[in-house]
A and B are shown apart, each in its own frame.
Chain A
Amino acid sequence: MAKLEQPIDAAQPLPVIQVVGLSKCFGSHPVLTDINLAIMPSETVCLLGPSGSGKSTLLRCMNWLERPSSGEVWLHGTQMGYQAGRKRLASEAELAKMRTRIGMVFQQFNLWSHLTVLQNVIEAPIHVQKRPKAEVVAEAEHLLAKVGLHNKLQAYPSQLSGGQKQRVAIARALAMKSDVILLDEPTSSLDPELVGEVLAVIQDLAQAGMTLVIATHEMKFAEEVASRVIFLDQGRIVESSDPKTFFAQPETARARQFLERYIHVGAI
Chain B
Amino acid sequence: MDNLPYFLGGAAITVFVSLIAWVLGLPLSLIIAIARIQRIPIVDLVFSLYVSFVRSLPSPLLVMLLYFGLPVVGLDLNPLVAGIIAMTINTSAFNSEIWRSAILNFPSDQLDAARSVGMSPNQSFWRIAFPQIWQANISNFINEATFLVKSSPAVGIIGIDDLTRRAGKIAASNYEPLPTIVLGMMLYVVVLFAVSLASRQLERYFHDRYQLV
What residues make up the interface of A, taking CB atoms closer than 8 Å to B? 63, 65, 92-93, 96-100, 102-104, 106, 108, 110-114, 123-124, 127-129, 156-158, 169, 172-173, 176
Asked whether B121 lies within 8 Å of A92 as measured between CB atoms, the reply is yes
Give the complex CA separation of A65 and B212 in angstroms.
Answer: 25
Does chain A have a CB within 8 A of B131? yes
Q: Please name the 4 residue pairs, one residue from A and one from B, whose CB atoms are nearest each other, closest first.
A: A100-B118, A124-B117, A110-B113, A156-B210
- Residues of B at under 8 Å CB distance from A? 109-110, 112-121, 123, 127-128, 131-132, 135, 209-213
Contact of B109 among A106, A128, A172 (CB under 8 A): A106
Residues of B within 8 A of A157 (CB): 210
The residue on B at minimum CB distance from A128 is: B118
Cα separation A233 to B145 with both chains bound (whole Å): 55
Given known contacts A128-B123, A158-B211, A112 and B115 CB-to-CB distance under 8 angstroms:
no
Q: How far is the CA of A148 from the CA of B150 in the complex (A)?
A: 54
CB-defined contacts of A111 to chain B, threshold 8 Å = 110, 113
Contacts of B132 in A (CB 8 A): 112-114
The listed residue with most B CB atoms (<10 A of its CB), out of A97, A114, A169, A176, is A114
In the complex, are the beta carbons of A114 and B210 less than 8 A apart? yes
**Closest CB-CB distance, B134 to chain A, in whole Å?**
10
CB of A149, distance to nearest CB on chain B (Å): 17
Residue of A nearest to B116 (CB): A104
Q: Could you pull out 17 A-B pairs where Cβ atoms are within 8 angstroms?
A: A96-B120, A99-B116, A99-B118, A100-B118, A106-B112, A106-B113, A108-B109, A110-B110, A111-B113, A112-B114, A112-B132, A114-B132, A124-B118, A156-B209, A156-B211, A173-B117, A176-B117
Q: Which residue of A lies closest to B131 (CB)?
A: A114
How many angstroms between the C-alpha atoms of A102 and B121 in the bound complex?
A: 17
The one of A98, A114, A124 in contact with B212, judged by C-beta atoms closer than 8 angstroms, is A114
Instruction: With a 10 A CB-CB cut-off, give which of A63, A97, A98, A123 has the most chain B CB atoms.
Output: A123
B127 and A96 contact, CB distance less than 8 A: no
Report A-chain residues with C-beta under 8 Å of the C-beta of B213. Answer: 113
How long is the Cα–Cα vector from A211 to B57 in the complex, in angstroms? 61
B-side contacts of A114, CB under 8 Å? 128, 131-132, 135, 210, 212
Residue in chain B with minimal CB distance to A182: B116
User: Across the interface, do B120 and A99 meet the contact criterion of CB distance under 8 Å?
Assistant: no
Q: Which residues of A contact B128 (CB under 8 A)?
A: 112, 114
The CA-CA distance from A261 to B128 in the complex, in Å, is 41
CB distance from A111 to the nearest CB of B (A): 7
Inter-chain CA distance A99–B120, complex, in Å, is 10
